[in-house]
Chain A
Amino acid sequence: MIVSLENVFKSFQVPGGAPLPVLDNFSCEIAEREFLCIVGPSGCGKSTLLTMLGGLEKPTGGVIRFSGERSSSGPLTTIVWQDYALIPWRSVIDNVSFGLEIMGVPKHQRKAEAMRHLKLMGIEGFDQHYPHQLSGGMRQRVGIARALTNNPEILLMDEPFGAVDAQTRMVLQDELTALWMRDRKTVLFITHSIEEALLLGDRVIVLSPRPARILEEITVPFPRPRSVDIERDPRFTELRLHIWDLLKGGVEKARIEPEATSAGTH
């Protein structure tokens, strides 16, 4: 299944102001079974892109098209959220089987399916725990297990490791890579981290500040299976600095902008 965005325009209505354009004439394509990473400065519209693909927002103009053969039984997309979005009154197993419950899958079947994915994420002993009893890293394992249990066509990941500590993050990156090597599911992965994008992605799209444009598309040259060892590759350093150069202008702009606007009101 291929996802294509054609001239997508998205603006938000600001109370008492002109509409704020977030995506302007944005076009790109996500290939079948591709791991696509998107990096960009804060507030550039990365998350808006993801919520539109997830069916939660409609574009103001342009079209988002899913085309080709279905390769999975689940929904078109399932989002893995940065802040996990686990249901606090449900146990881990009932969180993980939530999507199948919504789809009307019988209880024993969805529990078995959820259990299988808990095992896959290495948290099968925690099925009866509640989210508040788990650490951040564990919660995101539950979040990923829940998304995989849905068996979506495309996995949308919104800075999924942004809220976990640096060491857990490395472990989770490794596990996600291993999982992806098994299933080769199409993944759209949004991140702040250049290193993360280079470690995980087949392709990295670098975005400008709002309204988001594509500054560059980079095909990641490292062969799979990958590990943190790719950071020793001189090409890694080169790419990292190259992406940083692309982003730097935007990051500085985003930092200066609020001051400039507040100065303007005085």
Chain B
Amino acid sequence: MLAPTDPKAGDKVVAEIRAPQTLQRGPNVVERALRSPVGFLFPAIAVIVLWELGGTFGFIDRIFFPQPSRIFRALERLAAEGVILENLSITLRRVAAGFVIGTIPAVLVGLMLARVKWASLIIDPLISLTYPIPHIATLPLLLVIFGLGSPPIIALSSIVCFYPAVVNTAAGVRQVDERLVQMARNMGASSRQLLWKIIIPAALPTMFAGLRLGLGLALLGGIAGEFVAASEGIGAQTWLYWQVYKIEDMYATLVVIIATGFTMTNVMLFLERRFFSWSKATQKQL
């Protein structure tokens, strides 16, 4: 390396680029903690701690916003009594049924929308018309049709998860790289081979993102349905505790619902990352 030299007498220096005098600082402790794999928990923990302290020192109304420690004790008690597991399993069965019933036709319709011309001409307008409806608003109608209990809840769940699945499936199929289709056709692929070996695998990442959104909505639909249509299930339990004014127990069931939704979404995200890593990597290069 050359040693830095002074400009010769008479030479006018126009610009200089040098190494910085001080070492550049990396991210500090707080930033590193927040960026760590469990970093997303810290803001939530901070809110819980503030909530707890606010309740203890009387800044927060303890009747409507009981301290997290009291909610946790209520949760412990309900779990010990078996209330949580029993109701959660009922809810999960309804949500799973709704998800399956909503998603299977959604995937088939989505494939047709993208591949069959007349299907898109007829079904596309129907989807566009019904998509903006708040689907939860169909619950009264579902109650009229199915009565009370599991059937209207499963129906609501399936309706709300149908839409993201259908839209994402059609989008995924429409985005299939035309060069791969040409390549497969030159290799002599039949329509069926083209569908199973090129089109569906290529559309899967987008399709699966729709299923992930749909699963979250299926839970939402299930809980909302249980508020009014059932006496069992974790959503029905939340509603019951509100009616009998057991605020701490109501919060405890809400915590269970949050944890369920969080787990579902993250399992789906994990699966996406595990199986569709090629998709992100390919997109980045294009």
Chain A interfacial residues counted at CB < 8 A: 24
A221 to B193, CA, bound (A): 45
Question: Would you call B187 and A55 a contact (CB within 8 A)?
Answer: no
Known: A87-B198, A102-B184, A103-B188. A81 touches B278 (CB 8 A): no
Interface of A, secondary structure class, is: mixed
B285 interface residue, CB < 8 Å from A? yes
Question: Would you call B180 and A87 a contact (CB within 8 A)?
Answer: yes
Known: A102-B193, A132-B285. A89 touches B186 (CB 8 A): no
| Interfacial chain B residues near A98, Cβ < 8 Å | 184, 187, 197
Q: Which of A56, A81, A130 contacts B185 (CB 8 A)?
A: A56
- Among the 9-residue stretches A72-80, A238-246, A257-265, the one with 4 or more Cβ atoms under 8 Å from chain B is A72-80
Question: Would you call A81 and B201 a contact (CB within 8 A)?
Answer: no
Question: Would you call A75 and B187 a contact (CB within 8 A)?
Answer: yes
| Interfacial chain A residues near B278, Cβ < 8 Å | 88-89, 130, 132
Mark interface residues in B205-236 (1 if CB within 8 Å of A CB, else 0).
Answer: 00000000000000000000000000000000
Question: Would you call A85 and B180 a contact (CB within 8 A)?
Answer: yes
| Interfacial chain A residues near B197, Cβ < 8 Å | 98, 101-102
A160 interface residue, CB < 8 Å from B? no
| Interfacial chain B residues near A45, Cβ < 8 Å | none
B87 interface residue, CB < 8 Å from A? no
For the complex formed, measure the closest distance between the CB of B280 and the CB atoms of chain A, giving whole angstroms. 9
Known: A102-B193, A132-B278. A81 touches B183 (CB 8 A): yes
Known: A85-B179, A87-B180, A89-B201. A78 touches B282 (CB 8 A): no
Question: Would you call A81 and B187 a contact (CB within 8 A)?
Answer: no
| Interfacial chain A residues near B282, Cβ < 8 Å | 88, 131-132
B260 interface residue, CB < 8 Å from A? no
Q: Which of A89, A131, A150 contacts B187 (CB 8 A)?
A: A150
| Interfacial chain B residues near A75, Cβ < 8 Å | 187-188
**Which residues of A come within 8 Å of B, CB atoms?**
51, 54-56, 75, 77-79, 81, 83, 85, 87-89, 98-99, 101-103, 130-133, 150
**Which residues of B come within 8 Å of A, CB atoms?**
179-180, 182-189, 193, 197-198, 201-202, 276, 278-279, 281-282, 285
